[in-house]
Copies of this chain bind each other. A is one copy, B any other.
Amino acid sequence: MDRLPTIEDVARAAQVSRQTVSNVLNTPAIVKPETRKRVEVAIRKLAYRPHASARRLRMRKSSTIAIRLDPMTNGISGALLDRFLHALTEQADARGIRILLFTAADPAAEIEQIRKLRAGADVDAFVLTATFHGDPRTEWLVENDVPFVTFGRPWGANDMNNPKHLWVDVDGFAGMREAAIHLIDQGSSRVGFVGWPSLSGTGDDRRRGWQAAVEERLSTSDDDLAALNLSVEDRLEDARDAVVALLESDERIDGLVCASDTLALGAMIAAASVGRSDLPIIGFDNSPVGQAIGLSSVDQTLDEVARGALELLLGETGGDLVHRDAAAGDTRHRLITPHLVIRQPLRLLAPDAASTPTATKSAVGNHKNGKETQ
């Protein structure tokens, strides 16, 4: 056989008509069991699969969701989108939906891309990431009636409980609060926070989580609260420098929670460099680097985020687009609770008793090394 088998080939092989084969595939219930079996055998024998483009043309839907792969390799947590993408692809696959990628340098270019993909009937719906305050994309999409869901809640004007669009987000408040409470439960009595300047809604949300935990469990004065609250850009050096300063100005600090793993790593370096490598630190994002270095972190459970996104777009089970108005009231968004991952930190400065290194042949050999480089 030169070309791929068509529904007609199957029909011929099973001695039935096109439509019966189609029915076996789409509405098996209405086909007589006997006939159905015969068709199924033919399908298997020919290794037939319906031609996706033909089906899409007829059905007037593409069963495809597009997502922008943005160039932001924003430092350490960059792999976040990567992991989300993976989760999304898996969930989508289970529903018979495909994930298409596109790129765009800026929001305007992204809108243009979306317009093209829509106009070519290439894509049914979109997933937007990294939304921000006053995002032109969401406005445009709403206006042009394009189905979409955002990863990230609308921080701006409209009411979170009745927004203009579907969204999924991670509950940064709950996550950061859990992290802080964990430290307090482990004996910390003075827990600081390293976050971002308060432009980002995400950062503020996480900050409030820390604040809630401290106010709830510790008797930290308002002045102290302000002193324990750092705001720096999401860069290793900035975090390191700020934390060095903080630790030197306040010896009693015995715990830190951070709005990202980047900041947490900076904090670890800072702690080590001022001889506090025992300081418990918790980050956010559960990035690969964090994992490699034994950093405890708040994991975003991207599987659930992805599942939530698809459920909002397509409904609980099927692969069909839910009409916007049908997705009623409180089901129009999902707030996912992240969970804390506790790890044994890798001491940056004091490699104690190298735990069975796997150096082989040409390695010089392993030996104990208990030297405290403090």
Contacts and interface: CB of A to CB of B under 8 A. Distances in A.
Interface of A: 3-4, 47-54, 56-57, 60, 62, 69-71, 73-76, 78-79, 81-83, 85-86, 89-90, 93, 98-103, 116, 119-122, 197, 226-227, 229-233, 235-238, 240-242, 244-246, 248-250, 262, 265, 269-270, 272-275, 288-289, 291-293, 346, 348-351, 354-355, 357-367, 369, 371, 373-374
Contacts of A86: 69-71, 103
Given A79-B82, A349-B272, A363-B242, A369 B248 contact: yes
A362 B53 CA distance: 58
Given A53-B56, A78-B82, A244-B369, A359 B238 contact: yes
Contacts of A85: 69, 101
A363 B244 contact: no
Contacts of A232: 357-360, 363
Say how many copies of this protein the assembly contains: 2
Contacts of A116: 49
Given A73-B288, A250-B364, A273-B373, 17 more contacts: A51-B57, A57-B57, A69-B89, A73-B82, A98-B101, A100-B100, A232-B358, A236-B346, A237-B354, A237-B355, A245-B357, A245-B359, A245-B364, A245-B366, A245-B369, A246-B364, A373-B373
Given A75-B292, A362-B230, A366-B245, A49 B103 contact: no
A301 to B, nearest CB: 15
A121 B355 contact: no
A4 to B, nearest CB: 6
A53 B57 contact: yes
Contacts of A98: 100-102, 122
Contacts of A235: 292, 358
Contacts of A291: 73, 75
15 contacts: A47-B119, A52-B62, A53-B121, A53-B122, A57-B57, A69-B86, A76-B288, A85-B101, A89-B101, A98-B100, A241-B354, A242-B364, A242-B366, A245-B364, A273-B371
